[in-house]
Amino acid sequence: MDDEHNLKNFNTILFDAEDNQIYIIANKLNGELGFFILRLEGNDPYQKKGVNQFIVKWPRKLDIDDCHINILKDSKRGYKEVVVSYKTIFVNIYTILVLDLNHKSGQPLMYRHESFQLWESPCYGTLLSTQDFVTINKEGVNVIALGSTPKKLIKDSNKEER
């Protein structure tokens, strides 16, 4: 894969069995640091045409880490999106992106959320079945509603509504 796409520093890989596609987040393309997402056909990741394409190519000259990728889907409404999260060195930002897989224009970005996150401190992010995105770090837990449902109340450990 390195030789085929000149992609290095893989951060995470996700296989979507429903659509038979592979998503790769990498930190280096053609020797340049940045944020890159490549989508490949699951049966033939080396094909030259078809599904194989870069969804995101953002040269940023900065390292990324703690990358996570999830699929957000709503079969009733017929949409499928990729939810990606990562932290960036030096700027101490944890970014959550929602990308439209069926975008017609050149820009798949639908939603972007940024929060403070020290590079040295680990952070984990995941998408829940409720379409809420949860981040866990040493400061605690954050919940971000990504779905189309109205906002809902959450009770903390003291039974207080948030």
pLDDT in tens, the chain (162 residues): 667 777 888 889 999 988 888 999 999 988 899 999 988 888 777 765 556 788 888 898 899 999 999 998 877 777 788 899 999 999 999 999 998 877 666 678 888 999 999 999 999 999 988 888 999 999 899 888 886 556 667 787 888 887
| CATH number listed for the domain at residues 2-128 | 2.40.128
Please name which of 118, 100, 120 lies closest in space to residue 110, comparing C-alpha atoms. Answer: 100
Please name which of 101, 31, 45, 91 lies closest in space to residue 69, comparing C-alpha atoms. Answer: 101
pTM for the full predicted model: 0.81
Every domain of the chain and the residues it spans: 2-128
User: Which contiguous run of DSSP H or E holds residue 3?
Assistant: helix 2-5
- Spatial distance between the Cα atoms of 87 and 121, rounded to a whole number of angstroms: 10
Listed in sequence order, the residues at least 6 apart from 110 whose beta carbon sits closer than 8 Å to its beta carbon are: 81, 98, 99, 100
